Structure formats: structure tokens, C-alpha cells
Structure 1
Amino acid sequence: MATYDGAAFVEEQLRTILDQDGVDVRVVVSDDGSTDGTLGVVEAMDDPRIVVLPPLRSGSASANFLRLVRDADVAGATAVAFADQDDRWHRDRLARQLALIARHDVDAVSSSVTAFWTRADGSERTDYVGKSDPQTQLDFLLESAGPGCTFVLTAAAFTMVREVVRSHPLVDARVPHDWTVYAIARATGRRWRIDPEPTLDYRQHGGNVTGANRGLGAVLTRVRRLANGDYRSQCAAVARLAASLAQPPLQQRLERVAPLFERSDRGSRAALRRLAPELRREPSERRLLSIALALGLW
């Protein structure tokens, strides 16, 4: 669990993790210099299953999670899950996801979520956020497998990801950590399943790093993101990393695709537009990408 100024929510979240049905849990926390008493809340729970790493200022949620990937003690674990500081896990989250890993013989799983907003009167509004559109061959070049807070990796898959994060020169901390993890897993041939059943309540508030992407505002944000050179450079970084990790024939294909993100000429945009059905899972996102490329916005 990566924390930063989450004192208002972190105890509730930790209790939903520690109260998981049918599994033994250890929680490793990395705090990114909170000033609101977050660590005090965590330590006051006084639970031996919670381990707090030595303080280290990472500067972003993604960098903080990558620090956890590098440094968290996971010895003896069957699987490793990622946790945000402000959600609420369903009590059967880990049992369900571990069963899916075993049933489908995959290396990692993620899931859809139930987004929720707390109104001024204390009541809640909820919305199902589906993330389980069928995976495509190259979706990992442009997106994660849904929110990272739903990820569960087998110990073997996590060890492989850890080795890459610790030592590979092309791992870029500017890329969201969940996207990096998904790309590493897919590029190296690991099998990943996205469950349509929500496994947690995904809290929405003003401090979300990544939210539920609902409404016109979210659409405009995605359009601006497509037009932003930072996102394209992140795609290029992911593609270069993935190409360096993949085996033939995927490796050769990624080596051809990666330079397309580094150029904005008409030919590169046309080539990416042809690849749009393979680059995004959700049909509406494919259309948005195709339009942005056709108009020269990306």
C-alpha cells in the first residue's frame, strides 16, 4: 500500500484488507512524506500484520508503488496484491482473485470496480466501472489492465516484475506503475485475466490520481491527454521497454511499433490508426484514438 496524506480514509481501508475472508494477509506500507498524520493512524492500529517501510520521499504515487515493488518483503507470499489508501475491499476480494488465478491458470488478475462518491449528507452514490473488455494483442502499449488497486500477481509473476523494476534501465517512473506492471507482464508472455465482477469500492474524491473517468469532463480530460506530448512519450517508453523484454515474434513487432510513438508525421499517425483496434480494449476509446490520429491531435 502506497500512502500520502490519506489519514481520512486509510484506517477504513486497512481494516477491509486485514478482515479478508479465508486468507492470511500481510500489509507493507510505504508513505511518501505525509503531513496529515497518515503514518500515525497506521501505527496506532498496532497490528503485527502491518509493516511500514522506512520513510522515503518518492514524489508521486507511481514512484511510491515502484519503491514498494523493489523493496517490500514478500517472502513466503503466495501472491502479491496492490492497494490504494482510500478504497474499501470486498471481504472476498483476495479469495475470489486467488481462485480465478487457479481456475484459469493465469499469472495475474485485475477487476472492474464499483466507484462511489460520498455526498454532503453522508449518503453515497455508486456506479459500476467495467474494465473487462477483451484484451487485445497490443493494449498494454496504451493502457493498464484497469486500476492498479485491483491487481493480484502470483509470487512468481511478481518476482519477475520486481527483477525488471529493480534493474532495467528502460523502466520510466513517469509511467503509471500499474501500466508498467501490466506491460512487463504482457510483454514477457504472462497470462492476465480481467474479472468483470468488482472486487472493491473505488472511492472518488478531489485527491484521486486516477478516477472513474465518468462524464463529459472525463472525456475532455482524455482528449487533452491524447493531445499532450507527455502521454505519447509514456507510450513510447512502454513500447521500448516491452520490446526489450519480449521474445520473437512479438519482439520484432514491438520494435516496429515503438518508433511510431516517437514521431508525429502523417505516416506514423496513419500506421497507429490502423493499429487502433489492437491498442485499446474499449470500443469508444478505439474510436477516440482513431479520430485523434486522423485529426493530427496525437
Structure 2
Amino acid sequence: MGINNGKKVTVLMSTYNGERYLRQQIETILKQQGIQVQLLVRDDGSTDRTLSILNEYQDNTQLHYYSGPNLKTARSFMQLIFDSPKSDYYAFSDQDDVWNKNKINRAISLLEENDHSIPMLYAGNFKMTDKDLNPISGGQHFTTQKFANAIVYSCCTGCTMVMNKKLRDILRIHPIPKHLLMHDDWIHKVCLAIGGKVVFDSKPMMFYRQHGNNVDGGIHTINDKIQKVWNEKHQHSRIMSSQLSDLLKLYGEQMPKVNRELLQHALDFGKGSLVERMRLAFDPTYEIHENRNLNHEFRISLLMNYW
């Protein structure tokens, strides 16, 4: 991979009661090689020593932080996008992981192999670990790269993501959607919907720490998905189709015709009769072939009239 010395990268981090692992992650970000890095942190209402730790770095010109009301993870990260300074690239970071020193440099090198004029998003692999960074099984080994697949499931882990300025600027054109599952899910969908490109890197460049307090861990079995659908049916009915309706409303005019039609078809059949919902559930156009288990949540949701 090349050295991107001239590239400015802003890393966006939302913190909340992250005192245990925060300092270690900050250090791995500030020591990224081959780029000019700055870290922008938005604290989402911490009540532990997180702010004290951030204060320790306030004299470091690479780090800037501010506090805000508790928006929860997804909206806090989206707010960071609106508050971010001008840079060539933007990366997202959790408060408790550990990065390889060349993580961002590698991501930029892969992105720059593509057309610079379009929105682009990098997503990478990772090594799953326990709280002490001991390897454990599990992890993501691909990212959905077609819009039809993203309608079903945006398989894109936020803490690995890096986007170009083009995508960041587009995300700032419209307000944060009313229906928002997670920031990474939304950013991934927007990128593909408007004709952008998602680049996946199979080489793990970070330790993805699992410690019981993660907002969303990386292990998703079919039983996990069934339980998730069952729980969310009672809490957020039709959250998936509502978010996609927001996507169409906000970005429909920027979408290629084929993507608008794919999205409109899914929305129409998703709220149709049982027969129509089942036709959508097993439509090969939308099926994710890399990991067929990811289709199950979609099918269960449609069967239960939750999607």
C-alpha cells in the first residue's frame, strides 16, 4: 500500500462511559502512519471518567472533543458528520477497539484505486477479541456491495468504515432521517443508493473488542436474528421499511432509475398482501448469496408483517 502523507483524515468517535478502554484506542488512532490524522470526539453524556481522559489530550492538536446531550450512538455519530471539519477522508471509530497502525493508510490506498468523482465507502474485516484482546471466534468476512442487497441487510461494520469527502458532503445535504437504525447502516445504504461504490477489504486491520457492553457486537447467529426480529416487532414495527421510505424521500432524486425502482418495488410489496410479501421475501434480485443466513431476518420480518 502507498503512503498518503498529503491526505487529511478526520476520525469521528462518539464516547459514552468509555473510561476502561478509551485511552488505548485514542493512542492507536493518533499514531496512525502515512496520513495526517485528527480525531474529533463527541461525548454523548458520559457520567464516568471519560471526559477526564479526553481532557488529558486537550493540548494535543490532533484531538478535539465536545459534549452534547445524549442522542444515543446512531444520532451521535450522525451529528459528528455535520460537525466535522474539512478533510480528504473521514473514518469512524468506536471507543473500545485497537487499530493496526496502517489501518487508515491502507483504506485510503484502496479507495484511491477507484473513481474519485463518486461517493465511496471503505469497509474492512476485523479480528474479534474478548475484553483482553484474546482472539475469539466470529466476525464479518464480507460487506454487501449491491444496493438490492443493502435493502435487505446493510452488512457493514461502522468501526471499520472510511468514506471520501464526496460521500460526507452528500450526507450533510439532508437532515438526519427520522427513522434511523444505526449510522453505519444508513451511510452504507445512502452510498449504494445514489450510485456510489463500497470497497471491502478482507484483510483484518483492527481488533474488534467484545466485552458485554458493546452497542452492537459482531456475532449474529440465526437464533440471534430470530430473537432480534421478535423483540423489535413489539418495539419498532416497520422500522426497516420506514427507514427505506426516508431514504427514498431524501435521496430519491439523486438515485439512478434502477435503484429507485428496486426500492419502490420493495416498499410496495413489503406492505402488501401475504402473497406479495412472500414474493418479495424469495425474490432472487434481493438475495444475499455471500451469507444466506442474512436473508432469514428479512424473510421472518416479512412473514410477521414487521418489515
- When the two structures are superposed, what TM-score results if normalisation uses the length of structure 2? 0.83
Q: How far does the alpha carbon of each residue in 1:250-277 deviate from its partner, in whole angstroms, 9 at most, with x for none?
A: 21331121133345x4123212222366
Question: Match for 1:253 among 262, 287, 301?
Answer: 262
Q: How far does the alpha carbon of each residue in 1:198-237 deviate from its partner, in whole angstroms, 9 at most, with x for none?
A: 12110101111110215xxx43221122333256622112
Tell me the amino acid that sits aligned with residue 83 of structure 1: S
Rounded to whole Å, the distance in 1 between the matches of 2:133 and 2:106 is 28
Q: Is the aligned partner of 1:104 residue 2:114?
A: yes
Alignment of 1:16-95 (within 5 A): 16-45=28-57, 46-53=59-66, 55-72=67-84, 74-75=85-86, 77-95=87-105
| Secondary structure, counterpart of 2:244 in structure 1 | helix
| Secondary structure, counterpart of 1:12 in structure 2 | helix
Q: Is the aligned partner of 1:203 residue 2:209?
A: yes
Q: Label 1:186 to 1:165 Cα distance change in 2 as closer, same or farther (>3 A).
A: farther
1:241 corresponding residue in structure 2: 246
Rounded to whole Å, the distance in 2 between the matches of 1:175 and 1:266 is 25
Give 1:13 shift.
Answer: 0.4
Tell me the amino acid that sits aligned with residue 191 of structure 1: K
Q: Which runs of 5+ in 1 are unaligned?
A: none
Rounded to whole Å, the distance in 2 between the matches of 1:127 and 1:99 is 29
Q: Label 1:123 to 1:17 Cα distance change in 2 as closer, same or farther (>3 A).
A: closer
Q: Residues 179 and 246 of structure 2 are in contact (CA less than 8 Å); yes or no, is this contact kept in structure 1?
A: no
Rounded to whole Å, the distance in 2 between the matches of 1:134 and 1:59 is 27
Tell me the amino acid that sits aligned with residue 89 of structure 1: W
Rounded to whole Å, the distance in 1 between the matches of 2:236 and 2:201 is 26
1:272 corresponding residue in structure 2: 280
- More displaced stretch, 122-131 vs 89-98: 122-131
| Secondary structure, counterpart of 1:16 in structure 2 | helix
Rounded to whole Å, the distance in 2 between the matches of 1:284 and 1:44 is 46
- When the two structures are superposed, what TM-score results if normalisation uses the length of structure 1? 0.86
Rounded to whole Å, the distance in 2 between the matches of 1:37 and 1:294 is 44
Pairs aligned (count):
284
Q: Label 1:24 to 1:36 Cα distance change in 2 as closer, same or farther (>3 A).
A: same
Give 1:47 shift.
Answer: 1.4
Identity %: 21
More helix by percentage:
1
Give 1:39 shift.
Answer: 1.3
Rounded to whole Å, the distance in 2 between the matches of 1:156 and 1:142 is 25
Give 1:180 shift.
Answer: 0.7
Rounded to whole Å, the distance in 2 between the matches of 1:24 and 1:290 is 41
Q: Residues 33 and 101 of structure 2 are in contact (CA less than 8 Å); yes or no, is this contact kept in structure 1?
A: yes
